[in-house]
Structure formats: C-alpha cells, structure tokens
C-alpha cells in the first residue's frame, strides 16, 4: 500500500477537512472517528506521512503509541470502560481502508455489541459531546 497524499487523514492534517480534535502535538493528532464502532471511538495518527507501520520512522512510531496510550487512558476514564480495544491494521489484506497509519482506540464493555466499521456516520453533536468527555479526562 503506497501513501496517497490525498487520503482523508492527510487532508485533516493539512486543515483541508474538519475533525473533532482531542489532542495535537508536533508529531501526532487524535480525533473522533466519525463512523465509530462504539461511543468514544477515537483515532490517533502520526503527522509523518506513512501508509503503514512498516513505513513510519521509529521516532514517530514511539510518539504515536505514547499518545495512543494517553487517549486510551482518557477514554477508559471518561466512559468508565473496563476495557479498551486498540487496533491498527497494515495493508488492504488486513482491512486497512485509509493509507495513513492510524490506531483505533475503542472503549469496550463486556457484552456490548460493536457496530461495523465505516458503515454508520454518527451525529456530529453527539461526537462533540463524547469528545468533550475525553478531553476533560485528558486534563
């Protein structure tokens, strides 16, 4: 899978598309998934252009996983979630749909059903409210 400068996450990083931002620093960005599998589903991406984990520099990978952990801790706290699924796929055969490395942070409760990925677009106002809970837990 090659990197496409026109992928949705590259456009978000350039400010060409909006997102509901949770966190940003010089190396990473975290925002709400607009097609969440559960309430509170967030994405963490490196700012470095890399399609897969194999393409990312070790420095950017380290920064990205540290922020993934930070967002997961905040989501767990915000939603009193006993579990958090962290997922990352590489290549079309692994079901990667956006050619920009990203980690999914998905709060989980035993017995709760997960929606299919990229099928249902959530109400933006609901996403903003869920984001506010994660942001509050980050602080």
Active site residues per annotation? 102
| Distance, CA of 132 to CA of 20 (rounded, Å) | 10
Say if CB 3 and CB 50 are below 8 A apart.
yes
**What b-and-e string marks burial along 94-120, b requiring 16 or more CB atoms within 10 Å of the CB?**
eebebbbbbbbbbbbeeeeeeeebeee
């Amino acid at each position: 899978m090659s990197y496409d400068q026109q992928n949705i996450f590259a456009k978000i990083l350039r400010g060409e598309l909006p997102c509901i931002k949770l966190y940003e620093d010089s190396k990473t960005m975290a925002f709400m998934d607009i097609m969440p599998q559960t309430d509170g589903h967030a994405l963490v991406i490196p700012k470095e252009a890399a399609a897969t984990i194999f393409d990312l520099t070790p420095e950017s990978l380290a920064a990205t996983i540290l922020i993934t952990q930070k967002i997961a801790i905040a989501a767990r706290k915000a939603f009193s979630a006993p579990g958090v699924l962290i997922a990352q796929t590489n290549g079309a055969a692994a079901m990667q749909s956006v050619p920009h490395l990203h980690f999914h942070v998905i709060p989980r409760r035993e017995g709760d059903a997960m929606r299919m990925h990229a099928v249902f677009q959530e109400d933006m106002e609901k996403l903003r409210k869920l984001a506010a809970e994660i942001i509050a837990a980050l602080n």
